[in-house]
Chain A
């Protein structure tokens, strides 16, 4: 029991459950999942489907943060990805075929990788502070996306393309399947290889890592490329879901939600140890929160106040210090301080 209380995922999971229960109290059919036309429907499914882009971006963000970085450009990258694929599909001679969709998607993915490469270059090679390095792309990126779409909202009607964000497979939304698959791949890739530990090592102590022979540059580069990839796929989901590329609004503020998800999931912004499962839970909390606002019929004026309060409460629950204060257990003074130095 005690071990369970101490586990770092316990409190986020509890918060998620509480939010779901709260919704159920206000709308008795909230937790029910119906089958309709062979697809699953219901609020839970909506949460998963609408949350898929955030989940995916939070995944990439987790590894970046673990390496002691941050990626502010993900929203802009998502917008660019949507813009290039939709523009390609729109202008192609055969705008409804699977082939066109596939090429459009590939272009977007390549764009995401390239932009990740760019961020990684600025951070790992040039040595610019990550927040500023990615701020450059965050600022310019939306402009690039608008440049691609010529300032228009590009609508496409291509069924295979639409499936990415709005389709179902085996009864489940394809978008969430993609996100979960990405999590599984990332989990395997980082924990079955040494990548995860090496990212953590670089995040905790870059100098010592270099002296131990780690190629910190490659590792840093890798995480930004991965983040770019995740952002691009998320951008595809977003644009596919609305069958249009909106360079101005696609993925707006999504970087904040992703960072919040990572932190709520128990990964420190100071870098180092990370938890992918924690991030998943964190992202679900964020998405459920958005849904809750509608379920509870909270007036739009106080939505933000509500969100602020929930974030603080979740973080308080998670803060070991808050629990210590409640439980009045004494604890060494420097233990935390040591870790916090970099925060």
Chain B
């Protein structure tokens, strides 16, 4: 997982509530074998017209937001199905940070697991940040995770909260696996003890 320290990037405003994971990635794309490559299908139903062409009105189809790395929405982002494909699709599109008044629980977890920082802020603040985002290419937001602030284009700062353990994992670029592997010595010791206590446990080896 990539580290998340300071992100200065274009933010895309998507002023909607209850954007569910079916909207983020429709079910028909789940029979895939990849975590990557889902970016082209992110927001499929909003992003493309029935004939498959791009919907020019959708924010992520417009410049400069095609290169957005921050997404700002209204309440309850990521509700519905628990599919991990939703953060996979966002990440593959290039989104590293999502800002909303609230997030669905599982989606929130799945974001952290995949290196995306979800920031919950009051609705009025989200509205202000959306206004910033509408100023175009020169109007970037900076998210500084170590200091826990968003720096607006005019230099004003917006502080935010984040779970300390998860903050640490993101700063160090550790996923759950990376975190567990910090205990690798304990795992190895456990394996040695187990091999002595239960030497009969078979290894699966095919002839």
The finding on whether chains A and B are genuine partners in a shared complex, rather than unrelated, reads no
Residues on A facing B (Cβ under 8 Å): none
